[in-house]
Structure 1
Amino acid sequence: MTFKRIALLHTIGFLVVVIFNVTPWYFLMLTVAQLIFVPITLQLILKKENRLYYFFAIPAFASIFILQTTTTTEWDILLAGIYLLFTLVVAIYGLHRFIQRGFDHLEEFSIDAGMMYLFIGGMWFFASVAEIDTGFSPILTWLTAIHFHYSSFLLPIFVGFLGRLSKRKTYNIICSVILISPIVVALGITFSPWLELASVLLYIFGIYGLIVLVIKSDFPNKLQKTLVLTSFGALGITIIFSLLYAIGNVFGVFALSIDFMLKFHGFFNSILFALCGVVGWSILTPKTKEIKSKFPISSIRGKYVIGEKILYKHLGKESYKGLVDDMGIYLEKSFLSATIIDFYENTNQFRLYSEVNWHNWFKPFAAIYRFFSRNVQQLNLPYTNTQMEMTGEIIAVEDGRKNTRAWLRKIGKEVIFVALYSSHQRNDKYYMNIALPLPWSSMIGILELNQNGEKLVLTSKGANGSDAGIYLAFRQNVFRLPLQEQFIIEEKKDHQLTAKHHMRICSIPFLTIQYNINKRSPS
């Protein structure tokens, strides 16, 4: 079934509901979302993947149609349950998209989050129909269902489409605010009027940021830009009245009635925001900019304990002296410190001293993490910042990649790292491909090597189209993690190197390791 036919079918269905509606008028605000805005928006995402539509969507929309055109019956809970099942399937599909990609391309994650939020809207709708005691009045339960269909489903998806079209510097911040706002709103309604007020202020920042982004972005045609700007602009108006409502709840200075909010928000959200947004993005839906990276992945997976025993189950037949055989595949060797080259090509000839520094905000998490890492014997960094020698050896292993060798590092008798080093080439560029076996999975670090004077910089942050990044591989899925790492290694004195290893999560620093690397004496 084509997109136009689906849109026409749902529009006719909604018009029939309007004619034969047996519920109060304001219930149509949720019905129009369920019968028109949700299915059409999903078609913009799914395109040819119509199995979701035929097997789950048609029964769900038929259930909504029956609910709105018949009086209360004993079948209402079943009908609401069918719609709830549909929203669950949509959420699972959004989660599936996310797992296949991970935290790469925030605009795609925004679309995933919108689909996952829809299930929460389905639960609140089911609670409203089934008259479940949620701790709120029936009208507030129903209004919460509306919130998760409009602000939590449509808005993140529209924001994702905008990111596909034009991703400016401030987009990531604004998109992140939009994504966390529905949760903050829900917490505010549940626990505190002050938190509810803060959530509205957060929404104001995000929505007006979106308006500015739309104004600065180039659209394929003026009509689409006008409709999208009208859509976000409508939210810019309604959010001011939401602010007044939240202020009234906190200070009791004045109060906006729910009846007024229903009429006002009903027009602006249903007609201007949702309808203009759906029509605007239907004119030309931006295509995803996601390019799936395909690089060799280590086949080695651990169980409860990693340690050095895992290596002896996968021993290779070769022997290696260093982490790489020839640094020349990565960059021009003549411009790089000879000692740095020597370290990577003859790693066994060097001694390594480390000083681990967990950042203050992360120390409570590091203490908990240390309890598990000690037992797993992988990524087992000490909690103290005392300088300690890391002893190690290079061991050949076979894991399905080319020339794989493990660098086993210990402090005393305690295993700290088991890292499997290999490389791969994409186009004309070579990447260092490092795997760290984990229980039933593997963490993959793909690093670009760049020269900065005589310093060597290894980074997981590459340009667009680069394979560089940190991933989690499990089964057939490769999931990009919100982690970034950077090594900066330089020669301070003859045959003496220093290196700094910076780790960040969501661009926030949480770990720095300082290394002093000395070449062993000839004896």
Structure 2
Amino acid sequence: MTWNKWLPFSIILFLVAVIFGQGPLYLLMLTVAQVVYVPLTLQMIKKKNDWFTRFYTYFSIPAYVSVVLLHITEPSSWDAFLAAIYLLFTLIVAFYGMNRFLTRGFIRFEEFSIDIALVFLSIGGMWYFTHITNIDTGFSPIITWLTAVHFHYAAFLLPVFNGLLGRIYKPKLYSFAACILIISLILLAIGITFSVWIEWISVVFYMIGIYMMIFYTCRAPFTRRLQKMFIVLSFGSLGVTILFSFLYAFGRLTNFISIGIPFMLQTHGFLNCVVFALFGLIGWLISVPTENTTTWTFPISEIRGSIIIGEKVLSKIQCDSKPHKGLVDDMNIYEPHINTSTLSPMIRDFYENTMDYRLFAEVQWKGWFKPFAYLYRLISSVVQQINLPLSKKRIEMTGDVLKIKEELDSRKSPRAWVRKIHEKVTFIAIYSWHKTNDRTYMNIALPLPWSSMIGILEVNQMGHVLHLSSKKSEANSDAGIYLVWNNRILALPIEETFYVKEREDGTLYAKHQMWIFSVPFLKIKYAIYHRDFKNGEQ
């Protein structure tokens, strides 16, 4: 087992709480989580020599000692101060979770599950502070305390255990199962506050996610048999306790089955506290899976915007640029993944002589996304970037291609494609390319306020059709959609594809599709005509 220097300290604190504790024994369920499970779990997550590790002792020891003091002393005027120390500790942990996320983005869901667990712990700290200070939340004291317990076990330990599992075994539906569990936690909080129906539905989703994770722990390739036994037993206990939660929620919904809080404390609480948490923690301490790190080395544009992107960025780049004919000088740079001798000559000509063509677009927002599109439109119309119309009506996009100096952008052969609708800037995309190993990627930057969105697209040929995609075709691919902010590169949960083909009438047809969290939200159809084509407006 990986030795943990905090283990003796945690055990001593817990024994003090057991021997000198005030109040019912069940209160120890939260105390053991705070002074044993939380510190040992954080030891598995921390990285050597980062700021959290360097200063951890200074803000963690006062927090753990405060929890024990609150448990072994009678209520006093110092309680709020001691509870605030623990709350501050959980807020620092949450900040660490956000900092972890901002160094990576959504690229690895197993690490995002750990990030969100660190953030959720602060919510547990808030409910603990509320319980200690007797703030009136509209709930009984026991429900307030149970909510703090919930956010220390289900919202902290479980997502961390899920993340550790994902480090060693990540099947196709792993992210789906982990996402269900995270969403269920949020739905459960909403349901308890507003609706018994939502509470019951959240428990149903929770059951689906838990049983999927139980199946994955049985399939995971653990290197040590003892570790697998402990972890399977830990996750397996959730398969039992979630049944009690289901019956409890169903009873609140129908009044048909009556399961009270005392019964839940004796069964659900005991199994979660001992079997799930203790056995699970021992199991992961036997061998802590290492984090799968990702380092991006592809070039990024140095051009950033302010609040107004359109005209201001345009005026900036026009000072150091000149008109150019196409987005790419030579499509041969994308070989061998395309073959310019078999690719449609018109597609090649469009990219090399873009200004010889007219572009007509039909923007189609998905129905579920339209409310967000309306809100986004209020912002984009001011920012003048990615300012797409809400209507499906076919509309012409005009504009220019500008050749930008490499020292201004820092990438190879940058070309700014400025598109307008009714002479108003719709968006500015700066095209370039880079090569990693044996593949050349299309590298597109869209300046945003003090940041930039980067689209790294794989360029492939399917027959005579050109296919551009941010979806990775292999594990080490650069492809993806990223946000560059303050020298950080964040992978976004957005994907896009382009299909460009030549039609029989001598025109081009292109389809641009986008997904967020793998759910489609936007499709744009383009009709592209050479300026010599007489029926171009039809």
Q: TM-score, normalised by structure 1?
A: 0.96
Q: Does 1:106 align with 2:112?
A: no
Equivalent-residue separation in structure 2 for 1:243 and 1:518 (angstroms): 60
Deviation string 1:53-88 (CA, Å, 9 cap, x unpaired) is: 212111111111222222222211111110000000
Query: What is aligned with 1:326?
Result: 330
- Structural mapping, 1:106-255, within 5 Å: 106-255=109-258
Deviation string 1:501-522 (CA, Å, 9 cap, x unpaired) is: 0111111111111111122229
Return the offset for 1:216: 1.7
Return the offset for 1:433: 1.1
- Structural mapping, 1:466-505, within 5 Å: 466-493=477-504, 495-505=506-516
- Structural mapping, 1:502-521, within 5 Å: 502-521=513-532
Return the offset for 1:447: 0.8
Q: Name the aligned partner's letter for residue 421 of structure 1.
A: Y
Query: What is aligned with 2:357?
Result: 350
Q: Name the aligned partner's letter for residue 421 of structure 2.
A: I
- Choose from 274, 290, 293 the match for 1:290: 293
Q: Name the aligned partner's letter for residue 460 of structure 1.
A: S
Deviation string 1:125-146 (CA, Å, 9 cap, x unpaired) is: 0111111111111111001000
Equivalent-residue separation in structure 2 for 1:122 and 1:114 (angstroms): 13
Alpha carbons 2:457, 2:480 under 8 Å: kept:
yes
Q: Does 1:10 align with 2:10?
A: yes
Q: Name the aligned partner's letter for residue 177 of structure 2.
A: I
Query: What is aligned with 2:40?
Result: 40
Deviation string 1:452-500 (CA, Å, 9 cap, x unpaired) is: 1111111111132211111122222222221111000011137521110
Equivalent-residue separation in structure 2 for 1:167 and 1:307 (angstroms): 42
Alpha carbons 1:181, 1:202 under 8 Å: kept:
yes
Query: What is aligned with 1:365?
Result: 372
Look up the SS of the partner of 2:31 in the other structure: helix
Q: Name the aligned partner's letter for residue 326 of structure 2.
A: G
Alpha carbons 1:291, 1:465 under 8 Å: kept:
no
Query: What is aligned with 1:77?
Result: 80
Look up the SS of the partner of 2:103 in the other structure: helix
Structure 1: runs of 5 or more not aligned: none
Equivalent-residue separation in structure 2 for 1:298 and 1:276 (angstroms): 49
Q: Does 1:410 align with 2:426?
A: no
Look up the SS of the partner of 1:33 in the other structure: helix
Equivalent-residue separation in structure 1 for 2:245 and 2:497 (angstroms): 44
Alpha carbons 1:303, 1:438 under 8 Å: kept:
yes
Return the offset for 1:383: 1.8
Equivalent-residue separation in structure 2 for 1:336 and 1:481 (angstroms): 31
Look up the SS of the partner of 1:493 in the other structure: coil
Equivalent-residue separation in structure 2 for 1:378 and 1:408 (angstroms): 10
Look up the SS of the partner of 2:412 in the other structure: coil
Moved beyond 4 Å, runs of 4+? none
Equivalent-residue separation in structure 2 for 1:160 and 1:242 (angstroms): 23
Alpha carbons 2:157, 2:277 under 8 Å: kept:
yes
Equivalent-residue separation in structure 2 for 1:52 and 1:211 (angstroms): 36
Return the offset for 1:318: 6.2
Query: What is aligned with 2:100?
Result: 97
Alpha carbons 1:228, 1:280 under 8 Å: kept:
yes
Deviation string 1:243-271 (CA, Å, 9 cap, x unpaired) is: 11112212222322222211212320111
Measured on the aligned residues, the alpha-carbon RMSD in Å equals 1.7
Equivalent-residue separation in structure 2 for 1:464 and 1:139 (angstroms): 48
Equivalent-residue separation in structure 2 for 1:264 and 1:389 (angstroms): 66
- Choose from 467, 475, 479 the match for 1:464: 475
Query: What is aligned with 1:387?
Result: 394
Alpha carbons 1:308, 1:418 under 8 Å: kept:
no
Return the offset for 1:47: 3.9
Equivalent-residue separation in structure 2 for 1:454 and 1:486 (angstroms): 17
Look up the SS of the partner of 2:347 in the other structure: helix
Look up the SS of the partner of 2:416 in the other structure: strand
Equivalent-residue separation in structure 2 for 1:259 and 1:350 (angstroms): 74
Equivalent-residue separation in structure 1 for 2:238 and 2:403 (angstroms): 60
Equivalent-residue separation in structure 1 for 2:193 and 2:346 (angstroms): 61
Alpha carbons 1:197, 1:243 under 8 Å: kept:
yes
Q: Does 1:299 align with 2:309?
A: no
Query: What is aligned with 1:445?
Result: 455
Equivalent-residue separation in structure 1 for 2:378 and 2:76 (angstroms): 56
Return the offset for 1:407: 0.4
Q: Name the aligned partner's letter for residue 168 of structure 1.
A: P
Return the offset for 1:334: 2.4
Query: What is aligned with 2:346?
Result: 339
Return the offset for 1:374: 2.1
Q: Name the aligned partner's letter for residue 336 of structure 1.
A: L
Equivalent-residue separation in structure 2 for 1:172 and 1:285 (angstroms): 20
Equivalent-residue separation in structure 2 for 1:516 and 1:287 (angstroms): 49
Q: Name the aligned partner's letter for residue 435 of structure 1.
A: A
Alpha carbons 2:4, 2:43 under 8 Å: kept:
no
Alpha carbons 1:17, 1:68 under 8 Å: kept:
yes
Alpha carbons 1:90, 1:115 under 8 Å: kept:
yes
Equivalent-residue separation in structure 1 for 2:67 and 2:312 (angstroms): 58
Structure 2: runs of 5 or more not aligned: none
Q: Name the aligned partner's letter for residue 142 of structure 1.
A: W
Equivalent-residue separation in structure 1 for 2:82 and 2:309 (angstroms): 50
Equivalent-residue separation in structure 2 for 1:295 and 1:366 (angstroms): 31
- Choose from 422, 439, 444 the match for 2:432: 422
Q: Name the aligned partner's letter for residue 31 of structure 1.
A: T
Equivalent-residue separation in structure 1 for 2:41 and 2:412 (angstroms): 45
Equivalent-residue separation in structure 2 for 1:329 and 1:95 (angstroms): 39
Look up the SS of the partner of 2:409 in the other structure: coil
Alpha carbons 2:361, 2:526 under 8 Å: kept:
yes
Equivalent-residue separation in structure 1 for 2:422 and 2:90 (angstroms): 54
Equivalent-residue separation in structure 2 for 1:84 and 1:91 (angstroms): 11
- Choose from 271, 278, 282 the match for 1:279: 282
Return the offset for 1:234: 0.8
Deviation string 1:263-284 (CA, Å, 9 cap, x unpaired) is: 2123201110001111111111
Q: Name the aligned partner's letter for residue 417 of structure 1.
A: F
Look up the SS of the partner of 1:404 in the other structure: strand
Return the offset for 1:317: 5.2
CA, structure 1 residues 194+350, in 2 after alignment: closer, same or farther (shift >3 Å)?
same
Deviates more, 1:383-392 or 1:416-425: 383-392
Look up the SS of the partner of 1:83 in the other structure: helix
Alpha carbons 2:398, 2:423 under 8 Å: kept:
no
Q: Name the aligned partner's letter for residue 489 of structure 1.
A: V
Q: Name the aligned partner's letter for residue 479 of structure 2.
A: A
Q: Does 1:58 align with 2:61?
A: yes
